[in-house]
Amino acid sequence: MATVGDDRILTVPNAITTVRLLCIPVFVWLMLRPHRESWYPAALLLGALGVTDGVDGYVARHFGQVSTVGKVLDPVADRMLLGVAGITTVVMGAVPAWVGVTSLAREGLVATGFLLVAVRGGVRMDVQWAGKAGTFALMCALPLFLAGHANDDWNNVAEVVAWVFVVPGLVLGWYAAVTYVPRARRAVDTARGEAYGHAPNPTAEEANI
């Protein structure tokens, strides 16, 4: 059951998430500039945005500013940032195409799943730790790929470190997507049960999603 605090909109974490969303067009602009040197500031910006993904969550939990709006806005910002960054870096040739396609397919699957659950009246589900960890790893890998292409002096080092992040990032992301399917089904069944007045008791997994 939501509390009064859960309904807050003007919170520090929500402000941080909003700034992340507003910075997405700036990242695209830097990537589309004619000189490849602009990829380096784009990489720095993308890396900073990836770090703030963990910062807003920490602030929300540590200072008691968790809100319903934040629980929806934060994953939306994740999907948009990773989607735009993935498409842009693949189109510009900074990231291997299969990496971009694999990560974007996962993002599309999760976004479609959340939409279907919402349309069917399913209860809202919190983001899994595996999904957040996978997103964070990819948000570390993409700036490294970019920085490596922007600066030939440390191209090999940047790409090696990028691969260290991208492989576990994809594995964790797809693990979260696959395990999301039964959770989504239970969310819809729970909502239907509540509508008929006989909601099932949540399992241990559901109580900790």
pLDDT one-digit tens code per residue, 119-142: 776 666 666 788 888 888 998 899
Of residues 22 and 76, more confidence is placed in 22
Question: Of how many residues is the chain composed?
Answer: 209
More confident residue, 50 or 102: 102
C-alpha dist (Å) from residue 40 to 23, 35, 135, 143: 16, 10, 21, 8
Count the helices and strands in the chain (H runs, E runs). 7, 0
Residue that has been written with the tokens 């492989």 in this structure: 167
Q: Which of 138, 72, 144 is nearest to 107 (CA)?
A: 138
* pLDDT-derived band at 163, boundaries 50, 70, 90: very high
Most trustworthy range by pLDDT among 73-87, 137-151, 158-172, 183-197: 158-172
The CATH number of residue 194's host domain is 1.20.120
Query: pLDDT value at position 60?
Result: 77
- Select the more confidently predicted residue: 204 or 144: 144
Point out the least confidently predicted range of 115-119, 124-128, 170-174.
Answer: 124-128
Q: To which residue do tokens 């990032």 refer? A: 169
182-204 b/e with 16+ CB inside 10 Å = b? Answer: ebbebbbebbeeeeeeeeeeeee
- Average pLDDT across the chain, whole number: 80
* Model confidence, pTM: 0.75
Q: What local confidence, expressed as pLDDT, does residue 206 receive?
A: 43
**Confidence class of residue 193 from pLDDT cuts 50, 70 and 90?**
low
Structural domain count of the chain = 1
Structural domain for 169, as ranges: 5-207
